[in-house]
């Protein structure tokens, strides 16, 4: 991956100017927001890669096709379980909102109890 280029914010120390706490806090906040936008764009790109028929949902066939391309032979039940763990509305598909919620829920899970199988696939694809 290419390195992320962050927007320049604040003053240059080399010019003999110091950076105030407020400026540093503002710069840190801008950097955090920028990184969140980049991560969300990458997450959406993974979702779109999985959603081959462009119906804004990932079903078992689409997930299985991607796992096959990644040279992972999964059983039908394993694929269905991966979707079931994330599927909030019980339609046997993963919508963009469910996908995004799963990613951030697992990312911030400190208990270790959140199902991680689909998350692991997504992280690998990012």
- How many domains in the chain? 1
Tokens 């992320």, residue located:
4
Name the band, by pLDDT with cuts 50, 70 and 90, for residue 102. Answer: very high
Q: Is 3 among the domain residues? A: no
- pTM to 2 decimal places: 0.77
Whether 7 is in a domain gets the answer no
Which tens digit of pLDDT belongs to each residue from 43-53? 999 999 999 99
Looking at residue 9, what is its pLDDT?
54
Q: Note whether residue 5 is domain-resident.
A: no
Give the CATH number of the domain where residue 62 resides: 1.10.238.10
Examine the pLDDT at 2 and tell me if it is beyond 90: no
Question: Could you tell me the residue range of the domain that residue 56 belongs to?
Answer: 19-125
Which residues are CB-neighbours of 118 under 8 A, at least 6 positions away?
63, 82, 83, 85, 86, 94, 102
Can you give the pLDDT at residue 19?
75
Contact call for residues 80 and 115 (beta carbons, < 8 A): no
56 in a structural domain: yes
Q: With respect to residue 11, please indicate whether it lies within any of the assigned structural domains.
A: no
């Amino acid at each position: 991956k290419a390195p992320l280029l962050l927007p320049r914010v604040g003053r240059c120390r080399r010019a003999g100017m110091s950076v105030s706490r407020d400026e540093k806090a503002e710069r840190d906040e801008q950097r955090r927001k920028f990184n969140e936008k980049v991560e969300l764009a990458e997450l959406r790109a993974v979702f779109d890669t999985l959603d081959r028929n462009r119906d804004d949902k990932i079903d078992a066939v689409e997930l299985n096709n991607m796992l096959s391309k990644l040279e992972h032979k999964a059983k039908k039940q394993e694929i269905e379980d991966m979707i079931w763990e994330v599927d909030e509305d019980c339609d046997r598909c993963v919508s963009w909102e469910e996908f995004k919620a799963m990613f951030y829920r697992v990312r911030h899970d400190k208990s270790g109890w959140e199902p991680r199988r689909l998350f692991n696939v997504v992280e690998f694809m990012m």
